[in-house]
Amino acid sequence: MRTWTLRGTTTSYVVGVPDHGQWAQLVAWGPHDGLAPVVVAGTEHFVPRADVEPLEYAVRGIRYTVPVDLVVSGPGGSDELRPTLTNSTQPPQRLELEFVDEVRAVRIVLHYRMVGDVVERWVAVRNDGPDELVLHRHDSAGFVVPGGNTVKYLWGEWNSEFQQASVTLPRGRFTIGSAQGITGHSYSPYLVVDDDVAYGVQLAWSGSWEMSADVDTTGLVRIQAGRTSSSLGITLKPGGTWVSPKAVGACSAEGTDGLARVIHDYERAASRKRVPKVLYNSWFATEFEIRADHQLELARRAAGIGVETFVVDDGWFVGRSDDTGGLGDWEVDPAKFPGGLDAFIGQLKEIGLDFGLWVEPESVSPTSQLAREHPEWILRTPGRDPILIRNQLLLDLSRDDVAEFIWSTLDRLLSTYDISYLKWDANRPRLDSGDQRRDLDGRVVGNLYRILEKLRDRHPEVSVEGCAGGGARVDLAMASRVDTLWPSDNTAPLDRLRIQEGFRTGFAPHLMSSWVTDAEGTHDGRERSFDFRFHVAMAGVLGIGADLSRWTDDQLKTAARHIEQYKGFRELIAESKVYGLSAGVQYVGADRSVVFLWETGDGNMRGTLPTRPRQVPLAGVDPAKNYRVGNETYPGSYLLQVGIPFDGPADSHCLVVEQLD
């Protein structure tokens, strides 16, 4: 067997191709000093050998009775390929393995890239033959997981995204995905197998997708990740190449929490380095009832407590007095901004605020002028009425003229007005299938990515927040193209905390947009203190979304104090290693940590029952060094083993832990 090693910071990924050259298989994956080979001993019965080996990429025609990653049909009705290795190249931190099926003249290249401890994988399929081919299944990768059968995943719905759950799979298959043309509220493209060492896979795709964990009869887990096939598949013309999105895999000997740290590093490396600015967003305060003078009133209060960017959300454009109209007609409503948007922005600047604007460029209201002028731009299945969701339709972003319209709309807004921040929303799934002979999902998502990339390129000073009716478009592909992501419309303290804990397992704190509001919980309505609510939002990119005219002077003063404290450590939050604690979370920087502790149970805050004092052991400190926490000094070893006290009456704490020597 020929083998190739991708050596990461602390882990290695070893791929081999047996002498017959028919497939690549996983040889080992794990920490450098704990690499155990993945071996399948014994004899297979009634199945080909490929069906029991730990295949890296399983092609129908090589593998038959267990799940495959690629199914390609051609003329004559066959859907089998029998490729063999023809070439391999290994530039630094990369690997390319090329397999060719001589009969069909199909070339399959498996691509690998090691970034930190993350293995990026994708596949390119090229049709070198004379006939049209159809890809019916087209995964990005299959990741064999050397051990474990507890499969963790994130499920959700609107207002309740990123809920953590797990299944134990002694044998069999577990599948999640989205058929919504968008990443979706229902599941995150994320699966983790966590027993001793945690292995995780994420898919960088913002359209429809599917991920499965399959435990075969030998007990080996294999995770497949890829775009969902449409019922007619993807057509590959002679000479054409299809490239899958990336799937990434990583492992950590420190379980799911450690795996998140590996992924966070990877996401940070793919992000622009920005100081997370404190923003105010008017949505929860005013919804569609936007009036420039009232917005300014809110802005003055926001500026007074230290906010830096004022974002006007939905409702600023013509025809948008509720969610039934306006989308597509991206002109400032003169009734709402009688002096014009420029004058409004000028007034914000005078009080020291930058300006941000909400847009939902992919959608169109049926009553809009755009819908009347360009009915052909509306996505529909031929011969059928388009499906209306939240009173809106989608533009057919697979069309280049629509992509050009969206780009030029954004470019015009950003070039006309002094805009520093864009909140890009998307409030419905893509359900209309259009003409199934086209790769609608691929074209729409490809155009979306091209616009986001051009936005970065042409307007680099503008920060972009990705939002989709809450957290329906949170994935690695978006994480590398926007600056922050909105996890959920649920901002109530205890609900939000749970959502953020799930978010953190796959997405880094510099991406996590989080606002303080006065919202009541959907799931857990128990009240929490003002400090608690701030501390939850300070654990990410802090924003304020409450109606500030309702906050008392005392609350405004407390808010100002929290914002000032946040500004003192926000870069640490954005760049740190994050550790989950028994009652909170710790952001560990070079010589400082920020610790948030939250009382989430119904507890014994008033001390009316006998309880033992609670201590919260910390993480990520050096046992041989001393640390200051508030007015106390502790040895690192004590902080790691015993921890810091956390008892009532406060229901949350924000502590800075400073290394002394």
Residue nearest to ligand DGJ (CB): 314
Q: What is the DSSP letter of 222?
A: E
Please name the residues in contact with 574: beta carbons below 8 A apart, sequence gap of 6 or more: 268, 275, 276, 509, 510, 541
Choices 20-28, 92-100, 466-474, 498-506; region in contact with ligand DGJ by CB under 6 A: 466-474
Phi and psi torsions of 262, nearest 5°: -65, -45
Among 156, 469, 493, 540, binds ligand DGJ (CB under 6 A): 469
Sheet containing 632-635: which strands, arranged edge to edge?
577-581, 584-588, 592-598, 652-659, 626-629, 632-635
Q: Is 429 in the site for ligand DGJ (CB under 6 A)?
A: no
C-beta closer to ligand DGJ: residue 120 or 495: 495
Burial class, 75, CB count within 10 angstroms (exposed 0-12 / middle 13-18 / buried 19+): exposed
C-beta closer to ligand DGJ: residue 322 or 373: 322
Distance CA 615, CA 625 (A): 20
Q: Is 587 in the site for ligand DGJ (CB under 6 A)?
A: no
Distance CA 621, CA 633 (A): 13
Please tell me the count of residues contacting ligand DGJ according to CB under 6 A.
11
Enter the tokens of residue 239: 């000479």
C-beta closer to ligand DGJ: residue 356 or 469: 469
Among 101, 139, 210, 313, binds ligand DGJ (CB under 6 A): 313
Choices 344-352, 465-473, 505-513, 551-559; region in contact with ligand DGJ by CB under 6 A: 465-473
User: Cα 636 vs. chain centroid, distance in angstroms?
Assistant: 34
C-beta closer to ligand DGJ: residue 462 or 560: 462
Residue 370 C-beta: closest distance to ligand DGJ, Å: 17
Distance CA 137, CA 129 (A): 19
Q: Is 427 in the site for ligand DGJ (CB under 6 A)?
A: yes
State the residue for tokens 């959608």: 363
Distance CA 644, CA 656 (A): 12
C-beta closer to ligand DGJ: residue 146 or 328: 328
Question: Residue type for 455, please?
Answer: L
C-beta closer to ligand DGJ: residue 315 or 442: 315
Count CA atoms within 13 Å of residue 333 on its CB side.
Answer: 19
User: What 3 state SS string does 581-609 have?
Assistant: ECCEEEEECCCEEEEEEECCCCCCCCCCC
Residue 314 C-beta: closest distance to ligand DGJ, Å: 3
C-beta closer to ligand DGJ: residue 428 or 459: 428
Among 348, 467, 474, 538, binds ligand DGJ (CB under 6 A): 467
Choices 40-48, 125-133, 467-475, 535-543; region in contact with ligand DGJ by CB under 6 A: 467-475
C-beta closer to ligand DGJ: residue 12 or 392: 392
Choices 77-85, 253-261, 464-472, 570-578; region in contact with ligand DGJ by CB under 6 A: 464-472
Q: Is 146 in the site for ligand DGJ (CB under 6 A)?
A: no
Three-state DSSP class for 628? Answer: strand
C-beta closer to ligand DGJ: residue 365 or 447: 365
Are 109 and 100 in contact by the 8 Å Cβ rule? The answer is no
Residues counted in the chain = 661
Residues between 338 and 367 with contacts to ligand DGJ, criterion CB under 6 A: 358
C-beta closer to ligand DGJ: residue 360 or 441: 360
Choices 163-171, 209-217, 436-444, 462-470; region in contact with ligand DGJ by CB under 6 A: 462-470
Among 16, 129, 184, 470, binds ligand DGJ (CB under 6 A): 470
Give the closest residue to 251 by CA, choosing from 304, 204, 198, 210. Answer: 198
Q: Is 489 in the site for ligand DGJ (CB under 6 A)?
A: yes
Q: Is 161 in the site for ligand DGJ (CB under 6 A)?
A: no
Distance CA 328, CA 370 (A): 6
State the residue for tokens 């799911």: 256
| Beta strand 513-516 pairing with 541-544 | parallel
Residue 522 C-beta: closest distance to ligand DGJ, Å: 14
Residue 323 C-beta: closest distance to ligand DGJ, Å: 6
Distance CA 214, CA 170 (A): 10
The binding track of 278-307 with respect to ligand DGJ, each residue x by CB under 6 A or -, is: -----x------------------------
C-beta closer to ligand DGJ: residue 57 or 424: 424
Instruction: List Cα–Cα distances, 73 to 66, 128, 131, 226, in angstroms.
Output: 18, 14, 10, 18
Q: Is 425 in the site for ligand DGJ (CB under 6 A)?
A: yes
Q: Is 117 in the site for ligand DGJ (CB under 6 A)?
A: no
C-beta closer to ligand DGJ: residue 117 or 360: 360
> Could you list the residues that contact ligand DGJ (CB under 6 A)?
283, 313-314, 358, 425, 427, 467, 469-470, 486, 489
